Chain A
Amino acid sequence: MSKTLYDKIWDDHLVHTQDDGTSLLYVDRHLVHEVTSPQAFEGLRNSNRKVRQPNLTLAVADHNVPTSDRSKGISDEESKLQVETLEKNCDEFGIKLFGMNDKRQGIVHIIGPEQGFTQPGSIIVCGDSHTATHGAFGSLAFGIGTSEVEHVLATQTLVQKKSKNFRIKVDGKLSIGVTSKDVILQIIGKIGTAGGTGYVIEYAGSLISSLSVEQRMTICNMTIEGGARAGLIEPDEKIFNYLNGRPMSPKKENWDKALNYWSKLKSDDDANFDKEVTLDGKDIMPMVTWGTSPQDVISIDGRIPNPENEADEDRKNSIERSLKYMGLKPGTAIKDVKIDKVFIGSCTNGRIEDLRDAAKIVKNKKVAQHVYAMVVPGSGLVKQQAEQEGLDKVFKDSGFDWREPGCSMCLAMNADKLKPEERCASTSNRNFEGRQGRGGRTHLVSPGMAAAAAISGSLDDVRKFQN
């Protein structure tokens, strides 16, 4: 029978299936961070259990770490305790940890690929919904809760029921100034925030395969914003070249064996998908969110929608609630919306290509006077690379703050946050109420669009700044 890529990965990881389809799946790679793991380790201790495969587990502190000078440690007592707890747990259970001062430290979904820990055809989990990111490598990667983290630590398996198959095909080419962030925002706008619930999404089509590895990660990263736990892309030469020689990539004869296995990872031509959606690259514009759900998107030429035009009562109420929270009026051109802050970073857009995109726009220009703009590289290695390329200087010269790596203002668990009613152009993934700080107003955009907003002082069209 014909199979999708998801079906194939699923089958290759089946340890056991019950009559009702409930299955035990083997987990190849487990990423751990400080926020969703303390209770899992505590659970292990309470029931006298060990970590079954410490070598298949990699830990890093990212959510709570300060992005300012780290030489004095963490000043927030609770954050400090959480990071120290991770250190103690990793030490006790024999898990490799990139500590706060390790140059390889960074956002968990940036360091996995960077180290070659993320590999095609593997099942990768983490107590974090943006684990979907790793699907860019043709792996089945998804977020889990803390009880499941404990389950994976203890058994190296997970209890799952199979999801349905959903293919999203994007053909054509990206127009100038349009990025993979705009592609995924447009997809979420089209399918809705629950459109992928119960499915695993495979992204396919000529536009998807034309994307770089990092651009693919941005798409897979936000799969969860469309409701699907996992999104994946058939791995190809770009992926294999990216992984070749990374510290945790397969070596010598294992590399050849892996390559042989990886190159067979694709959906059969006649595989059945339960749901399909198609987009054309030429219809994709630079996008921006206006509301408090990632599905609330319009193109940068668009206007804020009017709830009165909505027939669906729930949708109408939800638009009204969003507009009230966002302090926006129906019919306003989104380009006229003034901003206070700019955040460039996160597991969605904190990689080197993202920083290059943004730097290109801000070079020899100044951040608008009323705007505070920050760049938070996704990892120590991204930061180092950017500094070698002189990007830090470009950003600093134009008035950006250049910070240490971490999750930062994507979820504002550390000191980086919005004040009530502050408006931010952000390259992160969620514009939920309070996400970047209580009362804070988030507009999700691509790195280039965030850079354009920083210069203009309002949400703006990045295409205006292209040479």
Chain B
Amino acid sequence: MQKFKTTKSIPAYLPIVNIDTDMIIPKQFLKTIKRTGLGKNLFYEMRYNEKGKPIEDFILNTSPFNDSKILIAGKNFGCGSSREHAPWALLDFGITCVISSSYADIFYNNCFKNGILPIVLPEAKIKELSEYSKRKEEIIVNLEKQKITFGNNEIDFEIDQFKKKCLIEGLDDIALSLEKNPKITEFEKKLSSNRPWIFND
């Protein structure tokens, strides 16, 4: 997995609440059998008109936000479907950090599996940060220090320490779990005597 340590970018601000994963990547793009190439279809129906032409005033179609690595959005970001195509599309577009006051659980988890840092901040701080998007000024996100720096200000953010470690080191979840193989085997042995129907029928 791609590591995440720090990023610096002018953030793009999407002041919409409940942005669902159907908005982030509509279903016609779920037919792929790859993880890559979805960036051009990120927010497709907000970003392109019915003829497939870019909608010029949509923020990710305008400079400098078409190069943003940080997305600031309204609360409950990523609700709806479990599709990991949503973080894949963000990542392929170049976004490695999302800032919102809350996320849907499945989306939040999916970010960490793909080297994307989802930061939770109170609404008031989101408003403050969004000014930097409007002013087209860069902000810096440092995961190690759990800090966002903007102008002369700093905001601290909270994060699960294990998830932080996995992001910073780019750890492979599956390899980590496979190290526990003896414990899994032991569990399966117990399972086949305690709840034998799980395996037998």
Contact = CB atoms under 8 A, between A and B. Distances in A.
Do A and B pair up? The answer is yes
A413 B30 CA distance: 8
Contact of A26 (B17, B160, B173, B184): B184
Contacts of A248: 201
Interface stretch (A252-260, A342-350, A369-377, A458-466): A252-260
A249 B76 CA distance: 38
Given A193-B79, A194-B102, A82 B31 contact: yes
Contacts of B105: 163, 197-198, 227-229
A175 to B, nearest CB: 30
A438 B50 contact: yes
A432 interface: yes
Interface string B174-188: 101110100110011
A143 B75 contact: no
B20 A432 contact: yes
B155 interface: no
A56 interface: yes
Contact of A145 (B15, B34, B84): B84
Contact of A257 (B174, B180, B184, B197): B197
Interface residues of B, number: 58
A79 interface: yes
Given A39-B35, A251-B201, A145 B27 contact: no
Nearest to A42: B33
A269 interface: no
B2 interface: no
A161 B160 contact: yes
A20 B26 contact: no
A151 B201 contact: no
B104 A197 contact: yes
A209 interface: no
Contact of A148 (B50, B109, B191): B109
Contact of B197 (A64, A161, A258): A258
B174 A150 contact: yes
B140 interface: no
A425 interface: no
Interface in A109-123: 119, 121-122
Contacts of A143: 82, 106
Contact of A413 (B28, B82, B87, B103): B28
A157 interface: yes
Given A227-B76, A314-B74, A433-B23, A78 B82 contact: no
Interface in B87-112: 87, 102-106, 109-110
A37 to B, nearest CB: 9
A439 B49 CA distance: 11
Given A122-B198, A255-B197, A257-B195, 16 more contacts: A20-B162, A35-B31, A55-B199, A144-B82, A147-B114, A198-B105, A254-B200, A258-B195, A317-B16, A318-B17, A318-B18, A411-B81, A420-B50, A430-B81, A432-B23, A434-B45
30 contacts: A15-B187, A20-B160, A20-B161, A24-B180, A24-B184, A28-B195, A39-B84, A64-B31, A81-B31, A82-B31, A119-B198, A145-B110, A146-B35, A147-B110, A147-B114, A155-B174, A155-B177, A193-B76, A194-B102, A197-B105, A198-B105, A257-B195, A258-B197, A315-B17, A317-B15, A318-B16, A411-B22, A413-B28, A430-B81, A438-B26
Interface of B: 15-18, 20, 22-23, 26-28, 30-35, 45, 50, 74-76, 79-84, 87, 102-106, 109-110, 113-114, 160-162, 173-174, 176-178, 180, 183-184, 187-188, 191, 195-201
| 7 nearest A-B pairs in the assembled complex, by CB-CB distance | A250-B197, A147-B113, A38-B33, A78-B31, A145-B110, A145-B84, A143-B82
